[in-house]
Amino acid sequence: MITPADGTDINDNTVTVTGQTTPGAVISINDQADIADSNGNFSIPISLSAGPNTVDVLSTDENGNQNEVLLMVNGVSG
């Protein structure tokens, strides 16, 4: 499961995308990257602009296997 959910309205200029994948996998979200912890958890803050924002979450494990999830979240000015 990845948060925020697809279609969520975000009342801020950043959102932290969290989820779980293969432990040690490289996680790339838009222009940010990190490595999942030993339980596969990840948490990466990304910037948002007003209106629709595409969130491209790509997980690559040590064998090169990839899993990709595309979400749309809406940046709402406060």
Q: What pLDDT, on a 0 to 100 scale, did the predictor assign at position 75? A: 94
Residues in contact with 18: Cβ distance below 8 Å, sequence separation at least 6, in sequence order:
2, 3, 41, 42, 43, 44
CB contact burial 31-69 (16+ within 10 A = b; e otherwise): eeeeebeeebebebebebeeeebebebbbbbeeeeeeee
The CATH code belonging to domain 9-75 is 2.60.40.10
| 78 pLDDT more than 60 | no
Q: What pLDDT, on a 0 to 100 scale, did the predictor assign at position 2? A: 93
Phi, psi of 57 (to 5 degrees): -105, 115
Q: What's the mean pLDDT when you consider all of the chain?
A: 95
Q: pLDDT confidence of 30, banded at 50, 70, 90? A: very high
| Amino acid, single-letter form, for residue 76 | V
Q: What pLDDT, on a 0 to 100 scale, did the predictor assign at position 1? A: 81
- Give domain limits for the chain: 9-75
